[in-house]
Chains A and B, each alone.
Chain A
Amino acid sequence: MIDPNLGSVVASPTPAGVGSNEVDGAGRPLVEVDRLKVYFPITEGLVFERHIGDVQAVDGVTFSLRRGETLGLVGESGCGKSTTGRAIIRLYKPTEGSISFDGVDLTTLSGDQLRRMRRRMQMIFQDPYASLNPRMTAGGIIGEPLEIHGIGSGGERRERVRELLATVGLNPDFGERYPHEFSGGQRQRIGVARALALNPDLIVADEPISALDVSIQAQIINLLERLQGQFDLTYLFIAHDLSVVRHISDRIAVMYLGRIVELAPSRDLNTRPLHPYTVALLSAIPIPDPAIESRRRRIILKGDVPSPAAPPEGCRFHTRCWLREKLGNPERCVTEDPALRLIETGHEAACHFAEDVAGSVEQQQVVGRPASRPRSSTPVASPGDGAAAGDPAAVQQIPTA
């Protein structure tokens, strides 16, 4: 349970943060991201660099993070999900748009003001081997945030480091050891302890379990969930694997080529996906029930993700969209860029034809989840339906034998 001493050494987060935590989801969101764009310039030339284009890593993303919630951010590699997370921590300067954290616009901050705000948001990294300085002890790594922000005396910091080690389930005496003396899971715990050191409000977890063994993944997920309850943390949980994200997220945002294509409560996204891309992602997840799994049909997307330096006109997904082909290639997908719009309560999708996804055979197929998952009103597709009704030209339906 909660260590009663925890946080005693370190000043508690600002009163504003504590106060509105009690209001919980009803109050102002902790983070509001508005039309965020992050472009990386492509340059040419050795000494005199010429600007010849931009990689549009994140291109107009709007969402908010409520206090205490976990927002999952999923998408293929290169879709801009990590860039979004890093822009919120202000590791990248946004090209356009705004990020407000507890009412303060982060995009205009610099120097000391930014450093002060950074105390309230921390990051957990994917690779526990690369994210810890091999020349520093575990205690040095965990205590560094305290040192940088001048919190506590040397002795107090050491005590706090011991507390943090215990909090993340490591022996408090391990502080003297170097990263190479720990296992992958233990290293990730050190990374979590470092993120906790400053008592942050927000933690951006950038694929925190992707590099770990499956047996360790569950441990870290459980640790993160326990810590969230213990310290009122808000998580932005980035992953490429929807099956992991939907387990711990309250809401999920699906990204494709720098845009959010669907944003919905976790349950709704799984039971009623409204964007053809989300449907395709869900179709790739195996179902832990042999009876249903044997009937699962994967939607294989054609081709590769287009280059974010030259994204397609209109809807960014139109070059690979199964629904567009099924509908007979409507012109609107190529000419008009679909905005993220509210389709059902709390459920947004960026597709002109989201209503056609609802109730489609493909959607029914992927939500054939075992009983442990809430299935609500959506009926499970019968095995015959998919093969009979699906247009084979539009959707390659490959049995997962």
Chain B
Amino acid sequence: MAAPAIPATGRAIEVRASRGLWRDAMRRLLRNKPALLGLLFIGIFVFAAVFAPLIAPYGPLEGTLVQRMKPPGGAHLFGTDLQGRDELTRILYGAQVSLLAGVASVIMGLSIGGIAGALAGGLGGWVDSVLMRVVDVMLSIPGILLAIGIVAWLDRGLPQIMFAVAMTNAPIFARILRGSLLSLRNSDYVTAAQSIGAPPSRILLRHMLPNSLTALIVAATLALATAIIDVAGLGFLGLGPPDPRTPEWGTMLTDSTKFLRQAPWLIFLPGLAIVISAIGFNLLGDGLRESLDPRLKR
């Protein structure tokens, strides 16, 4: 009368406990050496941004012209800039601007692109056609050019920079989410959900979006890298924060280009900061791509 005997097929995996998908992914991520290096870079970057006021030896605006362009060493570990301000302090504070602008622009881009992609992939039909043509047009304009146009149009300012970078990312997110939803719409488990009577909203929220999430997480991590570069690029082109004293990596580069031969550290050190943070997010993004795919087990 008891339930049918458990077949031998059940034995093999009976031994170990079930692992959640996220924990499983985390375990795989921590085994991925490049991703760990990426995490380390990001850790340094975030630490610098968060604790800049505590660890910076000087104030970001404090300095005298007497102390200008001092080479690294002594009282100023990274030397001083054209106005005699401590370069290390300014790089640490610059991380704040980059992190804030990068994260905010990716969140903004993710929201705009995510909604557009969900509408296109979820509704299909003419909504899809129209939205995707808009995306095509936006993607045909080089990202930095689009950002320059938007900042020029909306005037300079940190929120404008965030929005401009967000708009270069949004079409990428839209396309990724739409593609993912389209492929899921015909998947058997979505059909299965339809056959048991699941309403469309539930199918989208419980079955399609969770399975599109990994693609978006990877894309967002990689987008953080380009966002940091784009923010610095806008600063380098003179479209950085309106207050010229703001410690911003791109702006710091522009200011020092004319003195490349006299004070090369003023180019290399902020440049290195940009590279390290961008590489960090790129490595993490690639690592996430590998570890989040449940089909690539162990």
Binding site for B on A (CB under 8 A): 1, 3-4, 46-47, 86, 89, 91, 114-115, 118-119, 122-123, 125-127, 130-137, 144-145, 148-149, 163, 166-167, 169-172, 174, 176-178, 180-183, 185-186, 191, 194, 197-198, 219
Q: A91-B191, A115-B197 are in contact. Are A1 and B1 (CB under 8 A)?
A: yes
Interface positions, chain B 76-102, Cβ under 8 Å from A, are: none
B142 contacts chain A at the CB level, 8 A cutoff: no
- Using A89-B195, A133-B211 as known contacts, say yes or no to A219 and B7 having CB atoms under 8 A apart: yes
- Between A and B, 21 residue pairs with Cβ closer than 8 Å are A4-B1, A89-B195, A118-B195, A118-B196, A125-B192, A130-B188, A133-B207, A134-B294, A144-B198, A148-B199, A167-B3, A167-B4, A169-B5, A169-B7, A170-B10, A177-B13, A178-B18, A180-B294, A186-B9, A197-B196, A198-B196
Question: Given A118-B195, A166-B4, is A134 in contact with B211 using a C-beta cutoff of 8 Å?
Answer: yes
Q: Which residues of A contact B199 (CB under 8 A)?
A: 115, 148
Can you name the residue of chain B whose Cβ is closest to the Cβ of A114? B197
**Whole-angstrom distance from the CB of B24 to the nearest CB of chain A?**
8
Q: Tell me whether B210 is interfacial, beta carbon within 8 Å.
A: yes
With both chains docked as a complex, state the minimum distance between the C-beta of A288 and any C-beta of chain B, in angstroms: 25
B189 at interface by CB-CB < 8 Å? yes
B10's contact among A46, A119, A178, A186, by CB below 8 Å, is which?
A: A186
Is B6's CB under 8 angstroms from A169's CB? yes
Interface residues of B in 177-222 (CB under 8 A from A): 187-189, 191-199, 202, 206-207, 210-211
Q: A181-B13, A219-B7 are in contact. Are A176 and B198 (CB under 8 A)?
A: no
Given contacts A132-B189, A135-B211, contact A148 B3 (CB under 8 A): no
Q: How far is the CA of A198 from the CA of B21 in the complex (A)?
A: 28
User: Is there contact, CB below 8 Å, between A125 and B295?
Assistant: no
Q: Within the assembled complex, what's the spacing in Å between the Cα atoms of A145 and B3? A: 22
- Taking the complex as formed, is B14 at the interface, i.e. its CB lies under 8 A from any CB of chain A? yes
Which 10 A/B pairs are nearest by Cβ-Cβ distance? Answer: A166-B3, A131-B188, A130-B188, A118-B197, A115-B197, A177-B18, A145-B196, A135-B210, A133-B189, A47-B129
**In the bound complex, how far is the Cα of B202 from the Cα of A144, in angstroms?**
11
Q: A148 vs B196: C-alpha distance in the bound complex, in angstroms?
A: 8
The reply to whether A171 and B197 form a contact with Cβ atoms under 8 Å apart is no
Known interface pairs A118-B195, A144-B198, A180-B297; 17 further A-B residue pairs with C-beta atoms within 8 A, sorted by A's residue number: A1-B1, A3-B3, A46-B129, A91-B195, A118-B196, A131-B192, A134-B211, A134-B294, A135-B21, A135-B210, A135-B294, A144-B193, A145-B197, A148-B196, A148-B197, A183-B9, A194-B196
Interface: B130 (CB within 8 A): yes
Asked whether B294 lies within 8 Å of A123 as measured between CB atoms, the reply is: no
Q: Which of A123, A133, A145, A169 has the most CB of B within 10 A?
A: A133
Q: How many residues of B contact A (CB 8 A)?
A: 38
In the bound complex, residues from chain B placing their C-beta under 8 Å from that of A181 are 13, 18-19
| Interface contact B189-A130, CB-CB below 8 Å | yes
- Which single residue of chain B is at the shortest CB-CB distance from A1? B1
- Within the assembled complex, what's the spacing in Å between the Cα atoms of A115 and B200? 12
Most buried by A among B1, B7, B195, B206: B195
Residue on B nearest A204 in the bound complex, by CB: B195
Please indicate the chain B residues that have their CB under 8 angstroms from the CB of A134 in the complex: 21, 211, 294-295
- Across the two chains, which residue of chain A brings its CB closest to B7? A169
When C-beta atoms are compared, the residue in chain A nearest to B297 turns out to be A180
Chain B residues near A182: list those with CB within 8 A.
13
Q: Does chain A have a CB within 8 A of B126?
A: yes
Knowing A130-B187, A178-B294, say if A172 contacts B192 (CB, 8 Å).
no
Q: Are B194 and A91 in contact (CB under 8 A)?
A: yes
- How close is B81's CB to chain A, nearest CB, in angstroms? 50
Chain B nearest CB, measured from A233 CB (Å): 16
B196 CB, min distance to chain A CBs, angstroms: 4
Cβ-closest chain B residue relative to A145? B196
Rounded to whole Å, the gap between the CB of A52 and the closest CB of chain B is 17
CA distance A127 to B211 in the complex (A): 18
In contact, B188 and A125 (Cβ under 8 angstroms): yes
Interface residues as binary, B272-283 with A (CB distance below 8 Å gives 1, 0 otherwise): 000000000000
A135 to chain B: which residues have CB within 8 Å? 21, 210-211, 294
- Please give me the residue from chain A that is nearest to B207 by CB atom: A133
In the complex the two chains form, what is the Cα distance from A130 to B187 in whole Å? 7
Please report the C-alpha to C-alpha distance between residue A166 and residue B198 in the assembled complex, in whole angstroms: 25
- Is B192 in contact with A149, judged by CB distance below 8 angstroms? no
* Chain B contacts for A130, CB-based, 8 A: 187-189
Give A1 to B1 CA distance when docked, in angstroms: 5
Residue of B133, B192, B211 ringed by the most chain A CB atoms within 10 A:
B192
- Residues of B contacting A137 in the complex (Cβ-Cβ under 8 angstroms): 18
